[in-house]
Amino acid sequence: MSRALARCQGIDVEQLLTGPTLPELPEVESARAVIERAALGRRIVAVDDTDSYVCRPHLTGQIATALTGRALTVAHRRGKALWCDTATGPLLGIHLGMSGKIVIADPDGTEVDGGDYWEFGRRPGDFRWSRFSLTFADGGMLRLVDPRRLGRVRLDPPLDDLGPDAATISAAELTSALRRGHAPLKARLLDQHALAGVGNLLADEILWRAAIDPARPVNTLTEADCHQLHQVLRETIGDALRDGGVHTLTLMPHRRAGGHCPRDGAELRRTTVGGRTTFWCPVHQAR
């Protein structure tokens, strides 16, 4: 399909393939909520697991054999990890990658979706980038729609190494997770073993709100700093969950070359912290 035709259908291909956004905790929670609302308890009669890259390490047909005849019973999330129980069967793990959506379509054409924010939306019935699907006995379907093909579906995904969930972590847990070693603060926030759910964009927003230099060594944080970060973390995630995703947060429109701080008007600095592109204000986030 040409890019011009894609744009006529309301989809900006360049935004999807090269844009800076990706699913973080709020987007994964929206996908989980869609599964909980529209997919649980529906008997699975067919599974398309033919994309061997997305369904690695499973061979084609292995996921289908494990899930056919069963139903999803509970949808879980910790950080950016999403998985579903199947009663006495295996867990079904779904990773959204960098552009994934969960789309649940009913036989009458009604659809609900959750996951990554696509600036120009997705037209109902557009399944060009469907990488995995479940078909239910009533004719409905659950699909992983993923333009970049960086999502993943696997049975019994490893979950033990994930840190506490960023949406529910306590102040004491966060303090313990942050103050070990000498890493830059942003790098520690991005460490999913220490704190599950914060991605690159969310980290920049949290540190901008908290007025803390992203490169500040974690061993210099005080107890008061950690309690402030906990409050800002919870508020920032709450705002993103309420308003529809990380793209709605205050810093996001300014997080670009030549962007200016919406708090004090200073030109934002672009640096690399923990291997990730980082935007921060040299005025109110100075050490």
Q: Which residues contact 101 (CB under 8 A, 6 or more apart)?
A: 31, 113, 114, 115, 116, 118, 122, 144, 145, 146
Instruction: Identify the active-site residue in 23, 147, 164, 214.
Output: 23
Instruction: Identify the active-site residue in 24, 27, 29, 111.
Output: 24
Nearest alpha carbon to residue 153 among 97, 86, 108: 97
In whole angstroms, give the CA distance from residue 40 to residue 233: 31
How many Cβ atoms sit within 10 Å of the Cβ of residue 132?
24
How many Cβ atoms sit within 10 Å of the Cβ of residue 87?
9
Is-contact 157 134, C-beta < 8 A? Answer: no
The yes-or-no answer on residue 3 being catalytic is no
In whole angstroms, give the CA distance from residue 250 to residue 51: 38
Instruction: Identify the active-site residue in 32, 42, 80, 101.
Output: 80
Q: Which residues contact 40 (CB under 8 A, 6 or more apart)?
A: 71, 72, 73, 74, 75
The yes-or-no answer on residue 23 being catalytic is yes
How many Cβ atoms sit within 10 Å of the Cβ of residue 82?
24
User: Structure tokens of 90?
Assistant: 């295996």
Instruction: Identify the active-site residue in 184, 267, 276, 282.
Output: 276
The yes-or-no answer on residue 276 being catalytic is yes
Please identify every residue annotated as catalytic.
23-24, 80, 276
